[in-house]
Structure 1
């Protein structure tokens, strides 16, 4: 339900007292920085990938030292069935329509600003595509409207009574915001976090007038990328600081192999000391000792409950009773994730007594290839196209190994979820996988992207499974590895403080 409230804040819930508690440890003379976190997805409402998890967890970690609020489009999943106070109106700009700003106060006091524009966002499908998986044809207008709204809020919207000191923007859907600020002559610090450089938001040059992008910016030192307008490049160029989601990925994207054609610009940002890798964390719900959806809880010192989860996972995926190792794939089924190599590796290890459970969706050809693998190996390979959170958690908690042969992985969360639950990842040494997996200690890494190298890593995993003492030691070390958001939030705070002149 949308409720119009003009010229004042409308608190729905206990946000005021919660916000005070969140910063009560600060010196009374200090005023916490005001941050607007702009995202196209958030697990509380709608999730497509890891960005949704980060957008839910990181702002909550940052609330300890900042007055942080979130801006998200008013998708059907956000507005449906919720009471939303409309607190401001935003005028049209170029070909971008007028819209309203709504406000949701979460139970924990986190403030969400909702960009309410039903013509753009109230649709059946994902944030980016229709129910058939085809990108919305007006995605440029939809996310330019999000970026411009962020810039407007940073400029000051009187009815809000709140103006951010800094914008924290995420991925290409929010990447035009620093450019809009620059074109309006506004000096507001901006941080752009790149979660995956491969998704850039490319649109034809002819769309510039519709989006309010000046012709003068359509050049190499601006928004132009191989004859198109690149949302992501505009953010990389105009943002005060660029972060990405692991230290290794921050180095990788300055190379031709991983730079997606933007490595030159990223090398420049690195030389300017304006590119930083900050590893993601995982939220506190990933705790095997108190996860309510698991059939049985367990700890690193008492792993008995894992066998109950393993039995439940095998039953759920139609696998036979087995004393052999259970491998899991919990992933988008796309080329980036190395699913083609995983299928070929599985053909081998299931003949050696292993089993494979797969959950995910993505490229129809890879989905069908996985289903064919299961048909050829009944009782040994189980595949579920789609995603169920409870089943995925049970699979993390019951599998012995997580197969994750991603060709590139900016950060990756699945390997950290697996480690938390005692499943050892088998992964290519890239991006966040290299930063979170200690080879032979908390998982298995391989350094060449080919089947032979993957199979060698799988063989080492099978060897560890045969040595119960080694398997137990590795599981315990993996479960004890710190993956919380505390360290990450401290590093983000350092970036903010530098940009705001605090240090």
Structure 2
């Protein structure tokens, strides 16, 4: 074990002057302290669905827990309208610089801690790369710093007057935190949520020294992965429990096809009862009779507002009114999302009377292919390369069917957004899509990763569209089907309670 880690092995991981975690008999029980660690938070910065979950799940848990969010101090965080007060400091280690901790108290009571380290986080672009989509070459330093900060806060080294009972870390950018804690023999239990196993946070084995890792980090049973270090494998190997974002995906990742090379270790964790799937919910802003983004609001009883939103989308995207259905793609334009499958069946879909509206950005070749499709079908296909929240919501409200032919989809949120707004998702039977869509009731599912199987589902949709009563009945079922976060969060509370009960007692308790 390196000297840096040996120096901070603690018998009392949190300050002894904090209130006891398990109060004496007869004393009122207090909420458990949970530190939720993430690289995205939609209030400030978002690259994908992780940002939405990181903003919604902690809020849903506020009633049951003293939950706080830790994320990097990006410019979007520190320059937001929410005041940021420096409340703590963390020492550096190896190549990880010292940093301050800023506290932001949001209007709804949620507390956010931001790591203030300009040399790592004061950059324009996404959380992971520049404006041209190139990843930052020091991402291993940037997110090891985030992970070490979480471990240090759990160890009481942050100067904060608050210390978590449990860490909940998300995806590879925070996944090194459970490993840092294990190497320092900290007793704080941890949950790792895998939102997408395909992103693993790899760096060369030679980075051990600059990240302050022990020699054992380079072993296969720790974080070595095909000759590199994997942040995600470190979390899988060392977290107390692993969750992923749907029960089907939790099963899929223990197999070779979806396991991304990690199916062996994930199978071991599942056999020990340490891997489970918890399906996402959606927040209350996705309510069509209240949403201020929509041109006209509506509900499951009065669906006329969908027509007004459709008229707006037709004008915005230069579509001609038609008798056939309006299909939509609201997605990153990447291979995983099956965009090439949609391109493959587009000619037949349009020939059968369908129209298509697309919003999103992603891989340049798929962006260009979508632009060419719009050029080939003026008035029938409209494409916007980019993303706008208001337009996306209006497209969900306007469309009859949402296309999600994903090759894999850990959970997916878009299908639930579409359902809430009365747009029936057409999706592959995989991951969270299989768990949130009832085929023929709240959407349509197809099995095979082929244009033929996909177009069979499109043909079913075209047939359903010919029967307005059936279409409206399915819309009403779909609008009632997605879970609210308040319901989806309950399994997390049960998991936290179980892990805290199993955690070894600490000396200060």
| Structure-1 residue corresponding to 2:280 | 280
Q: CA-atom RMSD, angstroms?
A: 1.1
Q: Which residue pairs with 1:186 in the alignment?
A: 186
Partner of 1:35: 34
Q: Deviations over 1:379-422 (max 9, x none)?
A: 00000000000000000001000011000000000000000000
Q: Secondary structure of the equivalent of 1:211?
A: coil
1:461 match: 461
Shift of residue 97, structure 1, vs aligned partner: 0.4
1:172 aligns with 2:172: yes
Superimposed CA distance per residue, residues 229-255 of structure 1 (whole angstroms, 9 cap, x where no aligned partner) = 000000000000000000000000000
Alignment check: 8 A CA contact 2:44 2:80 kept: no
Change over 3 Å in CA distance of 1:267–1:158 after alignment to 2: closer
In structure 1, the residue matched to 2:451 is: 451
Q: CA deviation at 1:28?
A: 7.6
Looking at structure 1, the residues matched to 27 and 115 of structure 2 have their Cα atoms a distance apart, in angstroms, of 33
* Post-superposition CA distance 1:76-121 (Å, at most 9, x none): 1111144311111111101100110000000111000000000000
* Partners of 1:157 and 1:163 within 8 A in 2: no
Matches within 5 A, 1:371-390: 371-390=371-390
Distance 2:396 2:290 in 1: 14
Name the structure 1 match of 2:223: 223
Q: Secondary structure at the match of 1:199?
A: coil
Q: 1:129 aligned to 2:124?
A: no
Higher RCO by CA contacts (8 Å cutoff, separation 6 or greater): 2
> Superposition pairs for residues 94-243 of structure 1, below 5 Å?
94-157=94-157, 159-243=159-243
Residue aligned with 2:425, SS: strand
User: Hey, what's the Cα distance between the residues in 2 that align with 1:483 and 1:351?
Assistant: 36
**Gap change, CA 1:486 and 1:81, over 3 Å in 2:** closer
Closer, same or farther: CA 75–220 of 1 in aligned 2, 3 Å: same
TM-score with structure 2 setting the length: 0.93
Q: Alpha-carbon deviations, 1:474-501, whole Å to 9, x = none?
A: 0010011142012221100111011000
Q: CA deviation at 1:69?
A: 0.3
Change (3 A) 1:349 1:335: same
Partner SS state of residue 449, structure 1: coil
Q: Distance in 2 between matches of 1:113 and 1:381?
A: 44
Runs of 4+ deviating beyond 2 Å? none
User: How many residue pairs end up in the alignment?
Assistant: 477
The whole-number CA distance in structure 2 between the counterparts of 1:491 and 1:502 is 17
Instruction: Determine the C-alpha separation between the residues in 2 that align with 1:244 and 1:64.
Output: 23
* Partner-residue secondary structure (3-state), 1:160: coil
Partner of 2:76: 77
Deviation sequence 1:56-80 (CA, Å, 0-9, x none): 0000001110000000100111111
